């Protein structure tokens, strides 16, 4: 069986851009995958292909799930990467959306499969969405960093490269594969507060969507994400105010964010402790307020 399973082939896509996001290492606070999912639902995207997981996943790491059909029949749901087409008549281009778990193995074969798909569909630009944990406060605008294969595009979007060197995820390998084929590509990364690592972050997802809009020329109604982002900031603010140590730490981050000459923070509570305190707060809130 071929790893790429076509359900149908979308015809007449206009100057398509491929937007992708992967859960796991590249997806702090579920921000990247949430942004992609929001795009798909907002634009009425329809699935036309998927990648068979057999060659690319360790099922002890990314386990299949069991679901019940009509409360009786058990069905195995395997992890897979799905590909959707979103036609946007009033925009200058259509979108191809690709998302799923980060693969466990055979990354070069996996990214070759995606670049083959890109060429088969005539995709003109590949954009990856990602999110990383960082020493940033939840209360300030989300920082978006990234890069593009075209330096002029990088400058036009006001992207700030991270200068990072070290282990990479599947998106780094994908962009290298695009570069080898001469396919234009861009990478967008949202910075997520490390002290709220376990909570979904709609504020970061919204920032990724807004930055993507300027890159691909496709706009969506973000009111639903805006409401979720405001609620997220309110809830995290309550959690921060409940612990003086956490509040002092966040205030220090806010000060550093507004002072480029400041040094790294010293003698601050550990990230593990902050995470434990925040989870304790969420459990307490959950018992009192189902929302």
List, in order, residues 6 or more apart from 176 with CB less than 8 Å away. 111
What residue ranges define each of the domains in the chain, with the CATH number in brackets?
4-221 (3.40.50.10900), 228-288 (no CATH)
- Averaged pLDDT, 74-99: 93
Burial 89-121 (b: 16+ CB within 10 A, else e): eebebbbbbbbbbbbbeebeebbbbbbebbeeb
HSE-CB for 246 with a 13 A CA cutoff: 24
Region class of 18: left (phi > 0), else alpha (psi between -120 and 50), else beta? beta
pTM confidence score: 0.84
- Averaged pLDDT, 69-88: 88
241-288 tens-digit pLDDT:
888 888 888 888 888 877 744 444 454 555 565 565 565 555 544 544
Task: Please give the mean pLDDT across all residues of the chain.
Answer: 86
DSSP alpha helices (H): ranges in 217-270? 223-241, 244-257
d(CA 156, CA 160): 11
> 218 pLDDT exceeds 80?
yes
d(CA 63, CA 276): 26
Q: Are 238 and 245 in contact (CB under 8 A)?
A: no
- Averaged pLDDT, 229-249: 87
Distances (CA, A) of 58 to 103, 171, 211: 8, 18, 33
């Amino acid at each position: 069986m071929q790893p790429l399973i076509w359900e149908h082939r979308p015809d007449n896509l206009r100057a398509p851009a491929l937007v992708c996001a992967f859960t796991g290492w590249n997806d702090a606070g579920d921000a990247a995958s949430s942004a992609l999912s929001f795009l798909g639902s907002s634009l009425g995207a329809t699935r036309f292909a998927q990648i068979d997981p057999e060659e690319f996943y360790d099922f002890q790491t990314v386990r299949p799930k069991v679901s019940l059909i009509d409360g009786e029949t058990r069905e195995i749901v395997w992890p897979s990467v799905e590909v959707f087409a979103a036609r946007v008549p009033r925009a200058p281009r259509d979108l191809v959306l690709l998302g799923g778990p980060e693969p466990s193995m055979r990354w070069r074969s996996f990214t070759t499969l995606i670049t083959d798909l890109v060429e088969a569909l005539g995709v003109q630009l590949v954009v990856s969405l990602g999110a990383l944990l960082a020493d940033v406060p939840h209360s300030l605008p989300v920082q978006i960093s990234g890069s593009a294969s075209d330096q002029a595009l990088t400058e036009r979007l006001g992207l700030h490269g991270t200068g990072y060197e070290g282990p990479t995820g599947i998106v780094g390998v994908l962009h290298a594969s695009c570069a080898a084929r001469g396919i234009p590509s861009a990478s967008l990364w949202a910075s997520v507060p490390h002290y709220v690592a376990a909570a979904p972050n709609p504020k970061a997802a919204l920032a990724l969507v807004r930055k993507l809009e300027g890159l691909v020329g496709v706009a969506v109604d973000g009111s639903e994400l805006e409401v979720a982002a405001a609620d997220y900031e309110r809830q995290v603010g309550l959690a921060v105010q409940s612990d003086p140590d956490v509040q002092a730490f966040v205030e220090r981050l806010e000060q550093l964010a507004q002072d480029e000459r400041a040094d790294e923070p010293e003698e601050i509570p550990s990230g593990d402790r902050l995470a434990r305190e925040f989870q304790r707060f969420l459990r307490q809130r959950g018992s009192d307020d189902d929302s």
